Amino acid sequence: MINEKQKHSDLLVPSTTGPSHWGEQYNTCTGKHQSPININSLDVKKVNLPPLVFQGFDVAPRETNLTNNGHTVVVTMESEVTPTVSGGPLSGVYEYSQLHFHWGDNDTFGSEDMIDNHRFPMELHIVFYKQDYKNARTALNYPDGLTVLAFFYEIAPEDNPMYQEFIELLGNVTGSHLSARFDAPPSLKDLIAEDLLHYYTYDGSLTTPPCSEVVTWIDFKEPILLSHAQVQAFRALENEEGHPLTHNFRPVQPLGDRVVLYNTDEIIKQVDLDEEHPPEQPEGVDTNKIDTPKSDEAISSPKDPNSRKHPRNTASSPFTSQWTVLGASLVFTWIVFCCSDRYC
């Protein structure tokens, strides 16, 4: 009988064939909203989403196990307080299922999502399922079933002390399907970045079969720092065939018609052309001004009813008045000329 822990640990187990063949076995792997993607930071839509709410992230679990499943390293935990996440782009509360990693065989690539065509050496995925759907397996049947908090890693000159026991345990799970238990289980907060405000988010899929398009991706901008030696410890693991496990990420997929949002603490304002009194802009905020008047003649007094009109509909240019006077003079001259020749 498969227990709940096993269900969670095999949620993201890829097919025995490579990514290019997944579509032959799973139609969902050829969908239009697949993951991972390349995020172009110049094309994202900046937004001010509600704050993400993290519950239980700072609570150390009662028991935490690390397993090499032949495809990645999976961390499952048993805790009196199950971590949850809500808010931001999410509707409802999502409960922790498991976390795992993706990496390459050197420091130049390994992450699944890319930022501005840049791959990071490693990426962490923390998988949550919507509480309404009871478990991660059932959640696969709903378009909002899962959310994945994704964190990128960068190489630092020094070891990250928060990962010390984690890296040591990797030496105990070199072979496929081996597990080890933490002596001092880390909380989720110990393993992730500090900046949880700035992130990209988009609708996507699992990055392994069945590639179900049920995932709200939340990719945090600030990377986690590990030393080269710490990342190298992941590359010492073996897959199910006993070969080095060094290339367990899926190639990027087309973005298609999706829009990637970027959550920021910048003030995002929408300009309303019919607004009677545009809001004052705080110092330091760069806004797009539409048809800003270039002279005092085009600026109306706040008490002037014309101030409600768009600048392009307000007072005439001085050049307009000059052409009006000139036109009137020509008409007068033509009348005098006509009458003098008795054409009137």
Asked if 40 contacts 258 with a C-beta cutoff of 8 angstroms, the reply is no
* Phi, psi angles (nearest 5°) of residue 53: -115, 120
Is residue 71 part of the annotated active site? The answer reads yes
**C-alpha distance across the termini of the chain, in Å:** 110
Compute the C-alpha angle 38/39/42, nearest 5°. Answer: 135
Which of these is catalytic: 8, 21, 33, 71?
Answer: 71
* Phi, psi angles (nearest 5°) of residue 131: -60, -30
In angstroms, rounded to a whole number, what is the distance separating the alpha carbons of residues 43 and 298? Answer: 35
Is residue 279 reached through a cis peptide bond, with omega within 30 degrees of 0 on the bond before it?
no
Q: Which of 291, 289, 296, 297 is nearest to 311 (CA)?
A: 291
Q: For every residue of 247-266, which 3-state class applies, written as one string?
A: CCCCCCCCCCCCCCEEECCC
Q: Which pair of structure tokens corresponds to residue 206? A: 């699992």
* Phi, psi angles (nearest 5°) of residue 112: -90, -65
Sign of CA dihedral 145, 99, 239, 226: positive
Just list the catalytic residues.
71
